[in-house]
Structure 1
Amino acid sequence: MAGEAGGGTLSEIHHRAKKLLLSTRDDLERLERLEYSTSTALDSPEQSVSIKTNIAHIQSLCVDMDRLWRSVAAKSQRDLWKRKVEQIAEEADSLKQSLDKYFVRNQKRMTEAKERAELLGRANGESAHVLRIFDEEAQAMQSVRNSSRLLEEASATGEAILFKYSEQRERLKRAQRKAFDVLNTVGLSNTVLKLIERRHRGDKWIKVKVQVKEEFARAACINFSGG
């Protein structure tokens, strides 16, 4: 007959430990499936703590069983219980290692998530700064384009004015050439034209002098008649 402890016989404790081991393994597998179902999965504190508590309980039961199997009288039974208890203890250790790895992965995910959030916050601030720089550059480029357009319009206006002025000069030159051609056609030269112009001015002054003399004569006659 298997030995007894305060929590029951060796067989009863083994039964409880085996049952708790199976349910704990299922809980851990469920937790790991949840972990890999999404890249952003974080720790489920209640479930992970419950699994950790169950593993500690199983290890405590293994300590009780390790003490009990040593008191079994029959060597064959003692060796059998030794293997059973060691198997439970090894499986409990395996679950503990898996849970510890889960905690490490979860801590790593939390750290990476925090770093991403910080980077995103800085990136948002830097993006706003970059966008502000691009806006300023766009405004500067628009000002340059506006200035360039104004210069082009001013240049076009100046060219149009110069073109009109050039046309007028050409028309004046053509008119002068045409006048000289006409004068040359009737046999007049520049010297003759100057003489005609001088004679015309002289005739005008003669007329003025005659008119002045006539006015003086008329005034003298009036004064004489009145005397």
Structure 2
Amino acid sequence: MSAAVLYNNALRQTQQLQKEIASLEAGEDTSAAVQGQITAGLASLQRCANDLDDMARREVTAQKKEKAIARSRKVREDYTAIQQAFTQWKIADRARVATAEREALLGSGQHAERRSSSAVHRHGHDPQSTDTAILMFDSMIREGDVLDASGNRVDDILHMGQTVLQDLYEQRDMLKGAQRRLYDVANHLGLSTSVIKYIERRSTEDKYIFFGGIIVTVLVMWFIVHYIG
């Protein structure tokens, strides 16, 4: 699959997820099926972002690589925004459910209190079961909030880990590029050294030929002057 096709698929998934999130926030459809679709869509969108990161690292030209990185960043930003909106909606929905349950419990507690009040008049004692139940319910709500906060922190840590891993991949590619350039320079320097050595050797040979020619020329002139002249 090409980067363009993958990016277009990611855009379609983003639009679908945004519609589903809007439906949740408006209260039109808050079923478990819709929430499951959003969870699956977020996982698929995250895979698209990772695949776009891999394709961007494999691009050869700087222009294509920059374009691929921009697309990957856009998809990852959309994923983060949708994930945060979904998390906030789940927290608000849990708060609404907890409030409704607490109000129902308080209502039943008031009804039980009225009944126990009559029992007090009849038997001479005041039961504390309703207050205990309310305290236990409040404690469960606080524990749920703590667990939600811990889950959000874990998600943040995972996201930071993915970001760090992506930076390490990019640094590795930069180091590989620098290593290739060093090899090229080393090969170029090796070739230059060979050329310099060849020139020095040729210069030495030319020097010997030059002095040899001078000696031969002097001998020939001496021979001509001494025997012919």
TM-score normalised by length of structure 1 = 0.49
Higher relative contact order (CA 8 A, sep 6+): 1
Tell me the TM-score normalized by structure 2. 0.49
Larger Rg: 1
Bigger fraction of residues in helix: 2
